[in-house]
Amino acid sequence: MTATAPITQDVLTIPRKLSEGPVNLVGLTRERLRDALVSAGTPEKQAKMRVAQIWQWIYQKGVRDFDAMTNLSKAYRADLAEGFAIEVPEVVTRQISDDGTRKYLVRIAGGHEVETVYIPEEGRGTLCISSQVGCTLTCSFCHTGTQKLVRNLTAAEIVGQIMIARDDLGEWPEPGRNPKDETRLLSNIVLMGMGEPLYNFDAVRDAMRIAMDGEGISLSRRRITLSTSGVVPEIARTAKEIGCLLAVSFHATTDEVRDKLVPINKKWNIETLLVALRDYPRLSNSERITFEYVMLKDVNDSDADARRLIDLIKGIPAKINLIPFNEWPGAPYDRSSNNRIRAFADIIYKAGYASPIRTPRGEDIMAACGQLKSETERARKSRAQIAAEAGLAGS
Ligand code: SAH
Ligand code: SF4
């Protein structure tokens, strides 16, 4: 990777096929769900109540079958089944790591695949979800960034990842008996899987609003963290329209190095990014911003880097998450030594910041950050083959 590398790679962008079948109710906001019901003949006067009932069945009880919605009349249930579906993506494989991490390979419409990772920890469980198939950006240390096939996930496919994890964990609570966040198996969400969430803003926002809705999955906005490589124009919108916590893939302390590691820096450089980050906590009423920093041997891991980092983020309520580089076949970097990571962490800690070193999880199943890449791609299919399978032959 040279300094002249493009910000986005030469990808094959797969359009979503407009489905001809019944409308999927999963992923619709309350307003859209209401419109869908009304246009299918539900009387306006009843619409609000019907939305509330169906919403609870889908997102609070995990029901996928209209027939199980026993507080609706038989005739109405039949009408719903006629025009609508309740569909989540299909789990193709599930791998469980020695440390309990679960990685799901998930198939979405068109036959594409993404990965979702569940990470159990003391007192909480975090689901790492994907927002795109692949990624258009080209961060030079990231496996996903080498994937040539890209499409945005729909809101249904994003919130669907939460629903299939809940299915697998057996965690659909009884109504009125929502467990406390602290005792939930799935208590936190991080948008740190495949893709750049801020390049799929509307679907990510709608999916997260569904996840936060108090009559459904009911996760607090403070338990959702969105990670961005630094799509500056969308950061203020994230604060206003989602209000979740923010993590930023910072990774370097000079524009020269960041241009190479996170090429979107050539569009919005460190200074521009920091201006947007300074406003974030005020706009979103959130606490600290997480600065993610991947530790790459002899690239960005010197004491001088640690000191520059502290200077740059002065005044921003921050926590710095040091990520030992997760290697993947053919990666052009090495992981910094443990001693180097500790020395770097120490400088940051002494400056008054929390500087946790992220323990790589699920390494034996390639589930760690930045290692995600779909099986379709790993099989090294040709572009033509992929295009043909996606129904795009000749395009
Ligand atoms: N596209 C978003 C979110 C997905 S990546 C973003 O870039 O922020 C989640 C985190 O893992 C990011 O901080 C990313 O930079 C980091 N990451 C990517 N590849 C990695 C690797 N091989 N080792 C360690 N961290 C990596
Ligand atoms: Fe995309 Fe994030 Fe990977 Fe960069 S680090 S290529 S933005 S997924």
Contact 136, 200 (CB under 8 A): no
- Six token digits for residue 293: 């920093």
Task: Tell me which amino acid residue 340 is.
Answer: R
Q: Is the CB of 228 under 6 A from ligand 2?
A: no
What per-residue confidence (pLDDT) applies to 367? 67
Q: Which of 113, 115, 234, 292 is catalytic?
A: 115
Cα(223)–Cα(140) distance, rounded to whole angstroms? 29
385 CB-near residues (< 8 Å, 6+ apart): none
Distance 357 CA to ligand 2 centre (A): 20
Q: Which of 128, 196, 369, 377 is catalytic?
A: 369
Ligand closest in space to the Cα of 371 = 1
147 confidence band (pLDDT: 50, 70, 90): confident
Cα(281)–Cα(263) distance, rounded to whole angstroms? 25
Most confident region among 47-61, 138-152, 348-362 by mean pLDDT:
47-61
Distance 245 CA to ligand 2 centre (A): 18
Known catalytic residue at 142: no
371 CB-near residues (< 8 Å, 6+ apart): 143, 326, 328
Q: Is the CB of 324 under 6 A from ligand 2?
A: no
Distance 144 CA to ligand 2 centre (A): 6
Q: Is the CB of 115 under 6 A from ligand 2?
A: no
Q: Is the CB of 229 under 6 A from ligand 2?
A: yes
Mean pLDDT of 196-218: 96
Tell me the average pLDDT of the chain: 89
What per-residue confidence (pLDDT) applies to 382? 47
Question: pLDDT of 39-55, one tens digit each?
Answer: 999 999 999 999 999 99
> Could you give phi then psi for residue 363, rounded to 5 degrees?
-60, -35
- Exposure b/e, 46-77, CB count within 10 A at least 16 = b: ebeebbeebbbbbbbebbeebeebeebeeebb
Cα(83)–Cα(35) distance, rounded to whole angstroms? 13
Cα(225)–Cα(244) distance, rounded to whole angstroms? 6
Contact 270, 255 (CB under 8 A): yes
What per-residue confidence (pLDDT) applies to 49? 97
Q: How many CA atoms lie within 13 A of 306 on its CB side?
A: 22
Mean pLDDT of 315-320: 93
Q: Is the CB of 137 under 6 A from ligand 2?
A: yes
Ligand closest in space to the Cα of 300 = 1
What atom in ligand 2 is closest to the CA of residue 194?
8
Q: How many other CB atoms sit within 10 Å of the CB of residue 170?
A: 8
Give me the DSSP letters along 13-40: EPPPPPP-SSEE-TT--HHHHHHHHHHT
> C-alpha distances in angstroms, 147 versus 38, 132, 187, 391?
41, 11, 30, 19
Residue 376 has pLDDT above 60, yes or no: no
- H or E element that contains 57: none
Cα(230)–Cα(262) distance, rounded to whole angstroms? 9
Distance 227 CA to ligand 2 centre (A): 10
Residue 395 has pLDDT above 60, yes or no: no
365 confidence band (pLDDT: 50, 70, 90): confident
Q: Which residue has the higher pLDDT, 284 or 269?
A: 269
263 CB-near residues (< 8 Å, 6+ apart): 5, 6, 7, 137, 138, 139, 140
Closest alpha carbon to 191 in 254, 131, 279, 278: 131
Mean pLDDT of 266-286: 91
> Could you give phi then psi for residue 251, rounded to 5 degrees?
65, -10
The closest residue, in CA terms, to atom 20 on ligand 1 is 370
Q: Tokens 């920890």 map to which residue? A: 121
Distance 229 CA to ligand 1 centre (A): 8
- Six token digits for residue 250: 């910072």
Mean pLDDT of 339-367: 88
- Six token digits for residue 263: 């090429």
Known catalytic residue at 115: yes
Mean pLDDT of 316-325: 94
Mean pLDDT of 250-267: 97
Q: State pTM to two decimals.
A: 0.91
Question: pLDDT of 2-28, one tens digit each?
Answer: 445 678 877 777 766 656 789 999 999
